[in-house]
Each structure stands twice: as C-alpha cells, then as structure tokens.
C-alpha cells in the first residue's frame, strides 16, 4: 500500500500492529468516537502515523501530548495551581525554565506556558469539563514513555497505563525523572483521576532516496 511516496506493508512491523489493534478494537473505538466512520478515520490516522514512524529519523526531541481528565474545577481554574504543576514537571524532568507566561480568562480557564532551553511546556484548561490539554516537548535525552510511539495510552488514577493492545504499563512517579516524571508531576499537581497520552519523536526525515528500514525503537 503506497503512502506518501513509499510502500507500507500492512502485514508486518509497526503498521501491521496498528492495523491489527484497530481491527480488534474497532467496536470500542466506534463507541468512544460515537460513530463507526469516526472510528475508521481514527484507524487511518494511526496507520499514517505508524507509516511515518517506520522511517529512519534524525531525532531532535520528544513530543508528549497529555490530556488531563476529571481534575477538580478549582485546580484547573487556578493560575497558581497550573503554573505550579508545570514548574514541578520542569523540575522532575531536569528542564531549564527561561520564562513563564500566564493568562486567566475572564469567566474560567487558564493558559500557562513555560519557555525552556530544551523547548516548552504548556497547559490550557477547561475547568467546567475537568479537562486540560498539556503539551510537553523537549530536545533532551530520550525518555521511556508508555505503550510506544504513536500509540495512545489511557490511565485511570490510581492505576497503570493501558495500551491499545491491552497491555498494562506501570505508571511510575514524578520522582522518576525525565519526560515520564514530568507527565506524572502534571497529573499529581492537577489532581487528575484520568489521563490520555500520545507521544512521538520529532526530527528530520531522510531525503526520499535514502528511505529504508528504521532501527528498532525501545518502548515500555
């Protein structure tokens, strides 16, 4: 199956694993997405991501997208609390803060940005929904994060991370350091009772004529 100029073998490797996971979990996906069409589009998006992840990459950083679920209204509506959670994440990840920007919206909700020498941490909250979208990007050393690149992990707190293939990965703690410790620091700081996490390596792809098999990537 050709995608974006290269051949995708759906029977093996990361793409095959994603396809099998999508097929085996399609009914669950359709329930989560409220429609089979939405579930199908989610599968296709995962396949495209897996295809990209099968390419060699000059890694420049790791990007983690964390969805904070069922956190207390007061925590998500407090600039001090959200800023404190991101500061704790930076400290846990041994990241260098260069600057901070905080904005409280007139009715409810806050946005907080930490500019890092390694890149950035940011959070945008919807207190009335118990939800925050948190972005963690760092050009620091690779960090062990659950389930593997491009594979969404879910967690009910306290509890382990659950992968799309139904594997369970221990959650760790904010004291663990690295990007994984930063993720835990955010969840602890905001008092979340649930979370979703998706992460990927960021960097430069090879020129089209140099595409080949990527080395195996570690994962939890």
Per-residue pLDDT tens over the stretch 47-72: 666 555 556 778 899 999 999 999 99
Name the percent of the chain lying above pLDDT 90: 59
pLDDT in tens, 10-19: 444 444 555 5
Report the alpha-carbon distance of residue 128 to residue 77 in Å, rounded: 9
CATH code of the domain made up of 58-203: 3.60.90.10
* Domain layout of the chain by residue ranges: 2-56, 58-203
What positions carry a catalytic annotation? 119, 124, 139
pLDDT in tens, 99-141: 999 999 999 999 999 999 999 999 999 999 999 999 999 987 8
pLDDT of residue 213 exceeding 90: no
29: confidence class by pLDDT, cuts 50, 70, 90? very low
Beta strand 110-116 with 161-162 is: unpaired
126 with 109: CB under 8 angstroms? yes
């Amino acid at each position: 199956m050709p995608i974006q100029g290269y051949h995708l073998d759906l029977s093996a490797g990361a793409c095959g694993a994603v396809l099998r996971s999508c097929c085996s979990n399609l009914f669950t996906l359709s329930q989560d997405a409220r429609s089979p069409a939405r579930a199908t589009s989610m599968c296709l998006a995962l396949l495209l991501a897996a295809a990209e992840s099968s390419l060699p990459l000059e890694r420049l950083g790791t990007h983690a997208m964390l969805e904070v679920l069922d956190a207390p209204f007061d925590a998500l509506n407090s600039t001090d609390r959200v800023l404190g959670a991101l500061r704790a994440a930076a400290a846990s990840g041994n990241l260098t803060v260069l600057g901070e920007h905080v904005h409280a919206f007139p009715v409810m909700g806050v946005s907080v940005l930490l500019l890092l020498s390694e890149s950035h941490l940011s959070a945008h909250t919807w207190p009335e929904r118990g939800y925050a979208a948190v972005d963690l990007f760092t050009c620091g050393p690779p960090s062990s994060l659950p389930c593997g690149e491009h594979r969404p992990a879910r967690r009910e707190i306290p509890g382990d991370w659950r992968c799309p293939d139904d594997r369970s990965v221990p959650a760790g703690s904010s004291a663990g350091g690295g990007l994984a410790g930063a993720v835990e620091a955010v969840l602890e700081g905001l008092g979340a009772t649930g979370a979703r996490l998706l992460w990927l390596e960021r960097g430069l792809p090879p020129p089209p004529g140099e595409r080949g098999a990527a080395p195996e990537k570690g994962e939890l």
